[in-house]
Amino acid sequence: MSGAETEVTNGRRRALFGGVGATKKAAARPPAAGRAGRVPTKSDQRSAPIVGYEPRVDLLPGEVHVDRKQRAVVRRAWLVVVLVALVAVLGTGAAYKTSIEAASDLSATQDQTVGLLKQEQSFAEVKQVQAQAALIEAGREVGGSTEIDWGTTLERIQASLPAGVTITGVQIDSATPLQSFMQATAPLQGARVATVTVTASSTELPTIPVWITSLAKVPGFVDANANSVTLGADETGGYTTNLTIHLNTDAYDGKYAAKKEN
């Protein structure tokens, strides 16, 4: 190589490396302020050329990136499936536990019921006696539903007699639990459940209206009719009076019904 060619080559090298060094120095120095003394802004710094970074290029085909994204989606889907399966397993376990507890409670209740039935069978005779006693009580209540305290009733009739009148005979007719009492066919007569026909004697003619008025104190009194008043044919004379007294349901004593309520 001649001397001239060597000089030209050295000059090119100096110019090449000198240019690179000048560029680095220019990048290292901050930009100078403008004529008006303006301070460089960040946009100025960003617009300055960047020197020294290695260029990088992604040479992978697009199918690789799409495949990676699809795999990520599949992994998330499998994760959701696993979570749902786990929740289903937990729910199934809880339901199975609840069913086991319910079956245990049912078995205990059935055992208790069987025990109670056995105890009830041991008291079968007692229940039978109680049923018989209840039947007797009901029969007595029905049988005594038409019962009248005739002792008290006859005492009240005796107390209502006028002075000088004595009872010589009494005839009683009343309803029964199986047969009702025959009612009067004449109008303006009250309902009755029993009649008391009294035969009385007196030395003087008795005052029938006063006697009937006194009979109002008898329990269940409805009305009274004087059937006949006759004068005796013997030497002693005197009068014989036949009187029928009608009684209603107030004459019942109701002692069996009252006993049942107590």
Total domain count for the chain?
3
Q: 61 and 40: one domain?
A: no
Shared domain for 251 and 198, answered yes or no, is yes
Where in the chain does DSSP place strands (E)?
165-174, 194-202, 221-231, 239-247
The mean pLDDT value for 127-140 works out to 84
Of the three residues 122, 140, 175, the one that is the final residue of a domain is 122
DSSP structural state of residue 183: P
User: Which residues share a beta bridge with 249?
Assistant: none
| CA distance linking residue 84 with residue 90, whole number of Å | 10
Residue 204, pLDDT > 60, answer yes
Span 116-134, average pLDDT: 85
C-alpha–C-alpha distance, residues 97 and 199, integer Å: 91
In this structure, of 30-34, 200-204, 205-209, 237-241, the range with the lowest mean pLDDT score is 30-34
Q: What pLDDT sits at residue 105? A: 93
Token pair, residue 5, equals 């060619």
159 and 249 inside one domain? yes
Place of tokens 């749902």: 84
Q: 113 with 211, same domain?
A: no
**pTM metric for this prediction:** 0.48
| Residue 37 predicted with pLDDT over 60 | no
For residues 155 and 116, membership in a common domain is answered with: no
Q: Average pLDDT, stretch 47-55? A: 60
Which structural domain range is residue 191 located in? 150-259
pLDDT of residue 35: 46
| Tokens at 53, concatenated | 């970074």
Burial of residue 76, with CB atoms counted within 10 A of its CB: 0-12 exposed, 13-18 middle, 19 or more buried: exposed
- What's the mean per-residue pLDDT of the chain? 78
Burial class (CB in 10 A: 0-12, 13-18, 19+), 244: middle
Residue 18 within a domain:
yes
Q: How confident is the model at residue 36, as a pLDDT?
A: 46
The whole-number average pLDDT for the span 217-230 is 90
Q: Are residues 21 and 61 in the same domain?
A: no
Regarding whether 112 and 42 lie in a shared domain, the answer is no
For the ranges 33-42, 86-95, 185-194, 225-234, the one whose mean pLDDT is highest: 86-95
The H or E element containing residue 225 is strand 221-231
